[in-house]
Every structure is written in structure tokens, then in C-alpha cells.
Structure 1
Amino acid sequence: MAATEARDRPYARMLDGRYQLIRSLSQMHENMQAPVLLAYDHLGKDGTGMYVAIKGIVDLFASLAKAKRILRELKFSVRLSGHPDLMYLENLLVPWDESTFTGIFMVFKLMRCDLSTRLAEGVAVAQAEAYGIAQQKGKGCGQKVGKPITGRLVKRWMFELLTGLAFMHGSGVLHRDIKPANLLVDEEDRLRISDMGLARADIRREEDFAYMWTSHVVSRSYRAPELFLRRDLAPEASDHVSPPSSPRPAVSDASPSSVVPDVPPRPGAAPSAYPPFSSYSPAIDVWSAGAVFAETLTGRVLIPAGLPVKEQLRAVLSFSGTPKRPDWCEGGGLSSPTMKRYLESLPYYHGMDKQGCFPGVSVEGTDLLDQLLAFDPRDRVSAADALRHPYFNSVRNEYLGRPRPMALNPKDFEFELREPSADELTKLRQEILQEIKAFRKRNGKGPGGVGASPQALSRVSLAGTTLPPRPTHDESAAKAVESHQFLRGDSVPVEKMGSMQLGDDPPSPQ
């Protein structure tokens, strides 16, 4: 019995003979299918050891859709991870049984926390600062809580986010799920884009498959308005959303893979490299980036979570303003008849005064925000063009020599287009295994190793560690969040948050 307990303790379990499991970095629940684990790599950093994050994907072949999604995420993670603004894939572990495995392990660079938690920490710091000033204790109270958020830091985050998106879009890839929970920051506050599970490659040139391009992606607060335009606004149409799962308010649709029938394109419409029967283009990621930008400036979600479709569109239009194009209600020929009638019935919106909404932000910053959050995707700036905006003049030289976009091989994504057969899951199993082994061979990690059964992850209590204590993952940020008023709803007004310095702070001395 004692031997069994010792074997099941997480810090006694090893993966590939080198990774020592410590605890979960995810909120564990019975339906979790991809827990993220804190682990110690005994061979990392030239054998001196390093902390890593291991994503353990379980029940991989529960459905054909999930198996394809994981294979897709594998391919994107392998091919795009060399960019400094995308999550770096350290290793892939060969499954413990190549013929019957039902899960895989992906090893990533360990980051401090996600942007959602980091913003909450910044708000907690600002509240402590404002409280100290109100109590006549002077400035500096916020520094005892956590790391503040400054205008220059926001500018760096946005440049890194847009640089990563420009690389992905130039490579023919849409992320489709840009939100603070999928943007990770390290100890130096450098941002990386993570979670390629909903990404798609531009590999279609003729017919498209509707199930691959649904509007039910990305939390609603970060969803581009054109993805709503196909909706039928009949009174009986449902508009349900699921509860939030982030440290800060964020709501996702209950069914991320649900299919909404597409509307045929407008006759004579210009051809697009992206699906001919959907609203998809790189502009959806740009909109999400704009929503993230607005959130970093105030610490608050731009569009409240959980709004019905009509209210969400009104909120977006009241913020961005009614487009000047006469055919904007048609959504490029994609608006459903009921949606078009609804949009035509709305009053003209002038748009909010961005200088008033974001006090302290420069004119260049609010101009970029307007370009990122244009309601009509035809008026929205691209990620590559946004990087040339004057708002980034003071930080651009810090990011010279970024990799150029790469050309993906369409043959690597043929599994997306083939008709499913009776043995499709077997084929996908072999392709996943081949992808893992090819990665290990290219990166000099050998043909394989001693793995572990992912099924055991749901049965093991992941807590405790025997390794030397040190700050890991989001512990310090989470403590700041939990210890202050932000999560309890008793927050300080944005205009009184003295330590959220929205203007540029001077660059640090060289």
C-alpha cells in the first residue's frame, strides 16, 4: 500500500526519464481534457535543470473532431514555435504505447502567468496605490502588492502581440482565439501567443467545409462583429453562453464546435484566400487584438461578457461608430436577412470619444485603437500595417530582426480535406505519432523515450513538490489578485488608478 501511494505521488512520477511532475497549473475538474502541469526538467539548460509547463492531452480519440484539433495544434506548435512572440515548444514525448495511446504530452517554456491574471495584478496594484493616497499614506503602497502596469509596458505587449499575429497571418494561419487567457507573459513581462487549438491554416481554394469555420470561436468579449452577421435574429433563436472560466470576466459559447449555416457570398464578390462561404479573414484576430489593447489600458473588458447578440452589436457600434460605407449592413454579402434588417433599423452612432474613455493615452494610441476596432473588417488595419503605426515609434527598435513569415506545406494539412473513412481515427493516430517522432529527430532528442499513461492524470492529485522552493508560474500574480478588491467587485474607478501610467514612461537607461 505504501509503495502504491509513493508511486502515485506526483513528485515521484517521471516522464521520459527527465521530467518530474510537481503540481497542476490548471483548475482541475472532472471534465478537463488538457491539464497543464508544472514540472522540473532535470536535463534542461545544459543539464542544470529548469522548470517547464507540460500540457497533458487526454482522451485524444474521444471524437474525430478532437483528434483533428490536436493534430492541427501539434502541427502549428511545431512549425511556428521558433518565433519569439509565439509559445516555444520544448519537447514532445513519445506515447508509452504507440498502438493504443489515448493522450500525449507537449512540453513548453514555463511562463509566469496569462495576461488576464497579469492585468488583474496591475489593477490590484493600482487600487492599493489609490487607497494609500486616499489614506494620506503617500505613494508607493502599490509596489508592495505586485508589479504595476505602465503605458510603455502596454505598448510592448501590443507590439509583441501584433508581431506574432503578422507572422501567423503572413504564414496563412488564423489563430481565432486571441484573448488575455491565451496570451502568456514571462518574468520579464514579455508576451507570447499560446493555444493553437482553434487555429486554422489557409489551405482551401475551392469548396469549404462549414464545420471548420464556425462563428462559435473566441470568447464573446473578443469576437469580431462580422462573425455575428450570419446569425438568424428570429425571436426563437437561442443565444446562450457558458459561465466564465477565467480569473477575470470572460464568457465563451457553450459549444465551440457548433455549426451555424453559412450564407452564400454576394454575386460578383472578389475572391478571397479564406473560406468563400464565411466571414473569416485575418481581420478577426486583429479585432480581438484591439479588444485586448483596450483592456490593457483600463483593466476592464471592453465589451461586457454574456450580452445577447443584438446588445453586443449595439455596444460595439456605440463604441466604434457606424461605418461610413453605404453597404456596411450587408456584411460583404454575408448578413442574414433578419440581421440586415436589424442593422438598418439602428440609429447612427458617432462612436465614443476615445480620449475620454482612455485618459492619459496618447492621440497615436487612440488612433491605433480606432483602426484595430473598426466595425467593418474592410476598414480594419492589418497586423503588419499596425506595426508601422507611429504609436510604436518609441519601442520598435527593441524588436529588430524578427523572423519573416514562412510558407506552410499544404501536404501537411491534407487530413483536413480528406473524406473520413471507417479507419480515420487509426490514420490520425499514426499521423500524430509520426509528427512527434519527426519533431524529436529534428531536435536531436532521439527516436523516443519512456513515457507515461495520460489516463492517470485524472486520477492523481497533483499537489506538492520536493524541489527547492522558488517563484513559479503565476503564484505572485495570483496572490496579488486574490488579496485585493478587484475580484470581489468593490473596485476603484479607473480615473483614480494612479499607478496605471497610461502615458509613456521614459525608457530605462542602457
Structure 2
Amino acid sequence: MDKGESLFCTAGKIQSGFSSEPILYSGRNPVRKSSPAPLLHGGKCWGQGGPGHLWLSPPRWLEGPGCGSGCHLSSVPSLQDVSKRLSLPMDIRLPPEFLQKLQMESPELPKPLSRMSRRASLSDIGFGKLETYVKLDKLGEGTYATVFKGRSKLTENLVALKEIRLEHEEGAPCTAIREVSLLKNLKHANIVTLHDIIHTERSLTLVFEYLDNDLKQYLENCGNLMSVHNVKIFMFQLLRGLAYCHGRKILHRDLKPQNLLINERGELKLADFGLARAKSVPTKTYSNEVVTLWYRPPDVLLGSTEYSTPIDMWGVGCIHYEMVTGRPMFPGSTVKEELHLIFRLLGTPTEDTWPGITSNEEFKAYNFTHYRAQPLINHAPRLDSEGIDLLTNLLLYRAKGRISAEAALQHPYFKSLGERVHLLPDSKCRLSPPKKGQNKGSWCLQVPLCSLRGAPAAGWGGSL
């Protein structure tokens, strides 16, 4: 028997067992005949059962000159067996060529970074540095900015990177400066959070929290059919964020579904404050080229530049209608067509409904047909009487008569949400999910609020 055979026969003898029958060893569990895992020694495979197998016997010396086919098995260990088992050498030496091969095949472990190297690597990233963020996908592109989905190397959280180009501007565009200055002071759960600002020679990058969808995408994903209860929840969150802005004398001026972001938890947040303004005097003169046409109030359409918070409330009414019906309220392509759609539904304004309108030069120039107001319930039948009343007060011709965001939050339309909604701190906005009976399969974007195509679930407390 050569040295290799002696080694493996000895290894076989130290395996204690309770059966006198030999056990087939395959390199894994000795009681299973699994796929063989050969034991190599100097490039050879040793064993009774052919290449890749060893027969492990009870602790008894095998009789005969080696471990060949003439091995005789005994089930009773002797004192000599035990003493030999205990006297096995502790430093079994493997052939040098095997050790060399093992060393060549083993991958080198990376050396731990020194404290100085670790500090150097961390100094490459941080707030205010473009290297801190990795661009993942392009989300959209506008006139002066491109928005990317990204990831922060600091927190590993997803972010939205609004990259504003500076090539054709002397410095940053006024809209970007305005957005930064306003958002730095707006800290509310229903307003998108500005995390970081990065200024380079070519661009100004605003780093926002990332939300999965906007209200327009949300409606499309729902087949333009939201549950009326979800409409109420989103309306309440929209009004909360807007009331916070108006309370700090800030007008958004560009409310539309695309600028209302929604995450998978059903949280709605106001975004895109590029057209927003801080107002010091309510009657300050501004540009009338604001607000996307479909959500622009008639006073601005007719050239008014003296406006205040009511400019946003008209847009809230249009969004409310769109959420309930699944279609835009006044989808005009020109200013004249937009006014025509408004007057055809709400009635052509008179001195009674809009004092001073008959002296407006642009209104007189259009020479609109006289329309009578149509009942809103005929166009939004899914709204209850309280919902129709709120919508009516949002869409008044006389700007000063429109309900404010703060007053709208107290409207009876939101009574079913419970009293606790009014006690929420500014840092919270999420509504509790339904407790029982909810058909989760019909949820849209898995928003944990209520069934998008049915009534609120039984037992839902309307708590926040």
C-alpha cells in the first residue's frame, strides 16, 4: 500500500458507525447516494467503489495488505483500534504540487482599506457634488431642463435629478432661482422635498425626492376611473399642500395633474414650482402667461395681471372634476376656445355673476354667444351634493369669491375622513389603509387607500 492508500484507509477507520454495513461516501452526506464528489490526492482518486467513491467502514482495521477488494469488515472495535485512532498525526501533509495548484486557483482577497484611503474615497461624494448621484433613467425633458431618475451614493435612495442647462443663459434661469429659493423654505408632507443643489459651469441640478408617478399617469393606469373615495383623499392632500403655500404668501401658478406627484403609498405632493411666486401684496401685477391653458382661470385668460391665491383655486376645481370624471374639464387649444368651453358649461358671465366683465375689452371683442349655466351634477354624476357644492365654489367667475384652500379643507365634503385629519402635523400626510374586506387585486399602483373601483371598505375609519 502506498502512502496515499494508507492515508485514506486510516481516514476511513476513524468514522464511527452503528451498522456493520459499509456506507457509500460521495463527498456530501454519507447516508445519501448523491452525486459523487471525488477526493483527490496528488491528482488521484482513491476508493473501493470506483473513481470518486470511498467505502467508509466502522472503526476497525481492514485485514490484508491494503484497501482493495479483499478487505474484511468487523463490527466490533478493539482497544488497538481506539489507540491507533487517537494517535493519528495532527499535521497531515499534502503534496507540494497540490498546494501550489490550490494557491493558483484561489482568488486574492481584497486588502482592507486604510483609514486614509477610506477618508479619500468618502471625500469624493457629499452634498453639493455631482459625483454623489448616479443617473439611472431619463424621465422627461422640458424647455430648459431635463429630469432623470437617479440614486444617491450617500443614502442609496432613489432621487429625481432636475438638470437645468446654463449654456444659453447668463447664470441660472430665473425660474430655477425662483424654484430653489421657494422650496428651501417649504417643508411639508404634501410638497416635494428638495434634498440638494449642485451648481457647475454647465448646469444647475436640483435633487428632489423621487416619486413613482404623477396624477396624470395615475389616472391613465386606473383606466381614468378612480374611486370617489380616493378622489376625496387626493383632494384633501392637494388642499393641504396648497394651504401651506398660501399661508406663506406663495402662489403655485401652474397646478395641473402632471405637477402633482404620487408615490406607492398614496401620498400626493405638489411639485414644479418654476412658475411660483412669493407675493407681498395681493394686488401685485404679474404676467398673465402662466398656468397651463386647461387649468387657467377666465380672469387670467382675459388678460388680468392682478391676482392672488384664487388663481390656484380655479385649477384645483378643474383637477377635482378631472379626477371624478376621468377627462379634462376645459381642454381648449386656444384662449378663445378655452373661454368658449368655460362659458358653455358655466354660463356666459354677466354683471351679476362677474361684476365689471361687460367693460372688459377682450371680453367684448370676442362677442361670445350667451349661454345658460348647466347643472354640474349632469357632468359629474359621481359626486355627491357636498362634492358638487365644493366644485361650484372653486369655479366662481369672481376671483375673490372663490373658496380658499384653508376654507376648503373644512368643507363638509371631507367630513367622512374624520376629525383627526385636521390635527395632522405638517410632516405627515399618509392615510391609513382599510382594515377589512378590501379587494387588493383592484388597487391601482397598489395604493393602500381603498378599492379604486368600488366603495370604501367596511371598517375603514378614515384616519391618517
Change (3 A) 1:381 1:505: farther
Q: More helix by proportion, 1 or 2?
A: 1
Match of 1:227 among 294, 300, 322: 300
Partners of 1:502 and 1:216 lie apart in 2 by 40
Aligned to 2:136: 22
Partner SS state of residue 104, structure 1:
strand
**8 Å contact from structure 2 (residues 310, 399) kept in 1:** yes
Partners of 2:282 and 2:267 lie apart in 1 by 37
C-alpha deviation, 1:279, in angstroms:
3.3
Aligned to 1:285: 312
What amino acid sits opposite 2:191 in the alignment? L
**8 Å contact from structure 2 (residues 355, 398) kept in 1:** no
**8 Å contact from structure 1 (residues 361, 503) kept in 2:** no
Superposition pairs for residues 294-443 of structure 1, below 5 Å?
Answer: 294-306=321-333, 308-322=334-348, 325-326=351-352, 328=354, 330-331=356-357, 336-340=360-364, 342=366, 346-349=369-372, 351-395=373-417, 397-398=420-421, 400-403=423-426
Consecutive unaligned residues in structure 1, runs of 5 or more: 1-12, 127-148, 231-261, 263-277, 405-475, 479-498
Normalized against structure 1, the TM-score is what? 0.56
Aligned to 2:280: 203
Q: More strand by proportion, 1 or 2?
A: 2
**8 Å contact from structure 1 (residues 122, 299) kept in 2:** no
C-alpha deviation, 1:25, in angstroms:
1.3
**8 Å contact from structure 1 (residues 321, 375) kept in 2:** no
What amino acid sits opposite 1:51 in the alignment? L
Aligned to 2:223: 123
Partners of 1:399 and 1:42 lie apart in 2 by 37
Aligned to 2:166: 59
Partners of 1:309 and 1:34 lie apart in 2 by 26
Between the two structures, name the one with larger relative contact order (CA 8 Å, sep ≥ 6): 1
Aligned to 1:40: 151
Partners of 1:170 and 1:121 lie apart in 2 by 33
Partner SS state of residue 273, structure 2:
coil
**8 Å contact from structure 1 (residues 226, 279) kept in 2:** no
Change (3 A) 1:354 1:339: closer
Residue 159 (str. 1) matches residue 236 (str. 2):
yes
**8 Å contact from structure 1 (residues 151, 505) kept in 2:** no
- What RMSD over aligned residues (CA atoms) do the two structures have, in Å? 3.1
C-alpha deviation, 1:173, in angstroms:
0.8
Residue 68 (str. 1) matches residue 174 (str. 2):
yes
Aligned to 2:291: 218
Aligned residues: 315
Residue 111 (str. 1) matches residue 211 (str. 2):
yes
Normalized against structure 2, the TM-score is what? 0.61
Aligned to 1:444: none
- Whichever of the two has the greater Rg, that structure is 2
What amino acid sits opposite 2:222 in the alignment? G
C-alpha deviation, 1:502, in angstroms:
7.7
Partners of 1:500 and 1:189 lie apart in 2 by 12
Partners of 1:53 and 1:311 lie apart in 2 by 36
Change (3 A) 1:346 1:336: same
Aligned to 1:90: 195
**8 Å contact from structure 1 (residues 183, 192) kept in 2:** yes
Partner SS state of residue 123, structure 1:
coil
Aligned to 1:191: 268
**8 Å contact from structure 2 (residues 166, 204) kept in 1:** no
Change (3 A) 1:348 1:301: closer
